[in-house]
Homo-oligomer: A and B are copies of this chain.
C-alpha cells in the first residue's frame, strides 16, 4: 500500500474495464482478468478483496471520469443551452476516447447485479457519483426551462433521452456500425454524432412562443 501508483493495480483496472464492458460482471472470470493483466489469479486478490470489489472499483473509475468532465461545465457562467452543448461535446469525447466507458455506464444504469451496491463501501461511492452526475444534468436542464431558455418539458424525461442519445449510441457497437454503415469511433463519425445530437436537442428543446399543444395523445 506504500506505492499509490501501483502500476499492477492500474493495469488490472484497465483490462478489467475492457472485459466487463464487453460481457458484464457475471460473464468475466477472475482468471480471465488475471491472464489479460499478465498476473496470476491470486495476485488479483492481493489488490482487491473480492470480484465484487474489483467490479465496483472499475465502475467508480468510469463514473469519476464522467464526473470530472461534468463539474467544470456546470460551473461555467453561460446559459443552459450552451452548457448542454458543451456537455454533449464533453461526454461524447469521453465515450470516444475510452471505448469501454459507454458499455460500462450503460450496465451501471440498467443492469440488476447479483450483489447489492449498498452493502459495499465502494458501491455506495458508485451510487453517490451516479446520483451526483444525474442530479447535475437534471438541474442544469430544469434551470434552462424555468428561465425560458429552453422549451418547457419534463427535465427528467429529457435526461433519459439525453442518456440514450449519447451513451447508447457509443455502446451499440456492431449494431450501431451496421446501422451507420461505418465505424462508430472514427474522428469523422464522432464529429457527426456530436453535430447530430446537438442539432436534435437544439430543435427538440428550443424555446417557442406559447402555442396550442401539438401531437399529444396517448
Contact = CB atoms under 8 A, between A and B. Distances in A.
Interface of A: 22-27, 85, 89, 103, 106, 109-114, 130-131, 134, 138, 151, 153-154, 156-161, 163-169, 171-176, 178-181, 188, 191-206, 208, 214-218
Contact of A156 (B180, B194, B202): B180
A134 B176 CA distance: 10
20 contacts: A23-B112, A24-B27, A27-B114, A106-B110, A110-B175, A134-B178, A156-B180, A157-B197, A160-B168, A160-B179, A161-B196, A161-B200, A163-B172, A164-B164, A164-B167, A167-B168, A192-B217, A195-B215, A199-B215, A203-B203
Judged by DSSP, the binding face of A is helix
Contacts of A171: 110
A204 B214 contact: no
Nearest to A189: B218
Nearest to A162: B164
A161 B160 contact: no
Contact of A24 (B24, B179, B202, B216): B24
Those 4 A-B pairs whose CB atoms lie nearest each other, nearest first: A164-B164, A195-B215, A204-B204, A26-B27
Contacts of A195: 214-218
A175 B171 CA distance: 18
B110 A173 contact: yes
Contact of A198 (B25, B179, B191, B216): B216
Nearest to A102: B110
A22 B218 contact: no
Given A175-B109, A203-B206, A204-B203, A181 B156 contact: yes
A23 B157 contact: no
A85 B216 CA distance: 9
Given A202-B215, A215-B202, A216-B199, A192 B154 contact: yes
Contacts of A89: 218
